[in-house]
Amino acid sequence: MSRCLLPFYQQQTGKWQQALAFFYRILMKHHPDYSWQLRLYDFWQKLSKWEQWKPYGFYWPISFIWFWYCIRARSFWFFTSSNPGLEFGGFEGETKSEMYNLLPPGSYPKTIYISPEEPLATVLQKMQDAGFDYPFIVKPDIGMKGYMFRKIKNAAQLKKYHAASPANYLIQDLADYPLEVSIFYIRYPGQSRGKITAMTGRDPLHVIGNGKSTLRELMIAHPFARKQLYELYERHEDKLALVVPAAERYQLSDAGNRNRGARIVNYNAHITDTLERLLDDYSLYKDQFYWGRYDIKTASLEDIKQGKNFTVLEFNGAGAGPNHIYHCGNTLFQAYKIVLYHWRTLFEISRYNNAHGTSYWPFMRGWKHLQRSKAHFKIMNECEHSLNLDQES
């Protein structure tokens, strides 16, 4: 049973209770401050701008190419052999502990792993033994879309998070570097050098003050923030009446995920041979990662170009989308060209690995894995919307 702190009726399974939960979700999406005029405007923007389409709407026109690769491989899960060191090839449901096991020591922040079944006293002792101080980061060992990612500032927040967590999570040093970049990297098996196909930045969800509007009004005016007003109001409830000074940035979320409102910034001009060689070293450390995206925190673009003053937050395998198609001036057809190039390399790498000992997953094994992942992320999504730590700050 989920241990997250949901309203009682959200945890019921009867038909009428499910109906209540359905209407609750509608209310969560359509806050009274999210007027019908704004909804109509957002609907038109979503239709006219491909970058705002849902993934299935964007990928549907080219999905036949993905299925053609499945036919050629004679496997629905051909991608599972792409990265042998990651479960399901890193497409979905892999653990962060798997990821860090493939990286050289010291290349990622100090990390300890926590079970929600452990007493809080045990957790605090683990922290003390590992030398952790507040603040630090907590996030699920199996995560997605930034769900349950939090910055913990004190013991009260940790206690609340630990009680609410429905699955294993990790405590990780806060990476104090100001800039986060994502680097898409591809290396063919048997080769010592790979290629960076894109480097992008992530600008987390925020509003800019004008010296007149309150934070509440700025949220309503923001095209993404107004779609999650219940969640943001709860998270920033003590600041809603604040008039944000002109030109001042007020950050609404720490997550760098697009679905949490972050924007993508193109940094391709800063890709260097030094940086590519560094990722080659990481990829070759255990020689089990060939295709995916590194998420890195760094002091500056100049530093990451020289391969210094940075730390790897995590990396994503076969499930990593080429996010550099978004917010970087691409037309729809240019975006499709980028996606299809990455799909082709994924297929070629997977086919090679399958022929050399890393077999494609059988259909039922992959199906059951996806069903477990789906159930896990449903719980995470529910917990994400019910967990408010700001009251403990």
Strand-by-strand arrangement of the 310-316 sheet: 263-266, 195-203, 179-186, 291-298, 310-316
pLDDT at 222: 77
- Beta strand residue intervals within the chain, DSSP E: 111-114, 136-140, 150-152, 169-173, 179-186, 195-203, 206-208, 249-251, 263-266, 291-298, 310-316
pLDDT at 159: 95
pLDDT in tens, 333-382: 999 999 999 999 999 999 999 999 999 999 999 999 999 999 999 999 88
How far is 35 from 30, CA to CA, in rounded Å?
Answer: 8
Asked if residue 261 lies in contact with residue 224, where contact means CB atoms within 8 angstroms, the answer is yes
Among 54, 352, 24, which residue's Cα sits nearest to residue 190?
Answer: 352
Q: Is 354 helix (H, G, I), strand (E, B) or coil?
A: helix
71 φ/ψ angles, rounded to the nearest 5 degrees: -65, -45
How far is 386 from 258, CA to CA, in rounded Å?
Answer: 20
How far is 130 from 110, CA to CA, in rounded Å?
Answer: 8
Supply 99's token pair. 């990821």
pLDDT at 238: 87
Q: Which residues of the chain have pLDDT under 50?
A: 1-13, 20, 23-28
**Residue 6 per-residue DSSP state:** -
Asked if residue 320 lies in contact with residue 327, where contact means CB atoms within 8 angstroms, the answer is no
Domain-wise residue ranges, the chain: 206-252
